[in-house]
Structure 1
Amino acid sequence: MDHPSPGLAEAVSLPEQRQGHGLGPAETQDEAVLATEGLTWRIGEVAIVDGVSLRLRAGEFLGVIGPNGAGKTSLFNLISGLRAVTAGRVLLHGADITALPPHRRARRGLGRTFQSSSVFGGLSVRENVRLAVQAQRGGSMALWRRASAYREVAERADECLATVGLAGRGEVLAGTLAHGEKRKLEIALLLAGEPSVLLLDEPMAGVSAEDVPELVEVIRGLTAHSDRSVLMVEHHMDVILGLADRLAVMHHGALLACDTPDAVMADATVQEAYLGEGL
Structure 2
Amino acid sequence: MFPRSNAPAAGVVDAPATGLLSTRRLTWKIGEVAIVDHVSIDLAEGEFLAVIGPNGAGKTSLFNLISGLRKPTDGSVTLAGQDVTRLAPHRRARRGLGRTFQSSSVFGSLTVEQNVRLAVQARRGGSIRPFPLPGSDKDIAERAARVLWRVGLDHRARTMAGTLAHGEKRKLEIALLLAGEPKVLLLDEPMAGVSAEDVPGLVALIKTLTRDERRSVLMVEHHMDVVLDLADRVAVMHHGALLICDTPEVVMADRTVQEAYLGEKL
**Matched residue, 2:246:** 259
TM alignment of 1:42-121, pairs within 5 A: 42-121=29-108
Amino acid at match of 1:201: D
Q: Does 1:137 align with 2:137?
A: no
TM-score, normalised by the number of residues in structure 2: 0.89
Between the aligned partners of 1:265 and 1:169, the Cα distance in structure 2 is: 40
Q: Aligned pair in 2 of structure 1 residues 242, 29: CA closer, same or farther (>3 Å)?
A: farther
Q: After superposition, give the CA deviation of every residue in 1:124-169 in whole Å (9 maximum; x if it has no partner).
A: 1011000100110012279xxxxx9711101111111111111111
Between the aligned partners of 1:212 and 1:89, the Cα distance in structure 2 is: 34
Q: Does 1:239 align with 2:226?
A: yes
Q: Does 1:185 align with 2:192?
A: no
Question: Runs of 4 or more off by more than 4 Å in structure 1?
Answer: 28-31
Q: Which runs of 5+ in 2 are unaligned?
A: 1-10, 130-134
Q: After superposition, give the CA deviation of every residue in 1:52-99 in whole Å (9 maximum; x if it has no partner).
A: 000000000000000000000000000000000000000001110000
**Matched residue, 2:213:** 225
Contact conserved, 2:17 with 2:78, CA < 8 A, in 1? no
**Matched residue, 1:122:** 109
Contact conserved, 2:17 with 2:24, CA < 8 A, in 1? no
Contact conserved, 2:17 with 2:42, CA < 8 A, in 1? no
Contact conserved, 1:222 with 1:230, CA < 8 A, in 2? no
Aligned alpha-carbon RMSD (Å)? 2.0
Between the aligned partners of 1:141 and 1:46, the Cα distance in structure 2 is: 41
Contact conserved, 1:31 with 1:58, CA < 8 A, in 2? no
Between the aligned partners of 1:169 and 1:192, the Cα distance in structure 2 is: 17
Between the aligned partners of 1:141 and 1:258, the Cα distance in structure 2 is: 41
SS in 1 for 2:20: strand
Between the aligned partners of 1:211 and 1:141, the Cα distance in structure 2 is: 32
Q: Does 1:37 align with 2:24?
A: yes
Q: Does 1:153 align with 2:153?
A: no
Between the aligned partners of 2:20 and 2:99, the Cα distance in structure 1 is: 15
**Among the aligned pairs, what percent are the same residue?**
72
Contact conserved, 1:61 with 1:230, CA < 8 A, in 2? yes
TM-score, normalised by the number of residues in structure 1: 0.85
Amino acid at match of 1:74: S
Between the aligned partners of 1:42 and 1:121, the Cα distance in structure 2 is: 35
Q: After superposition, give the CA deviation of every residue in 1:145-194 in whole Å (9 maximum; x if it has no partner).
A: xxx97111011111111111111110111011000000000000011100
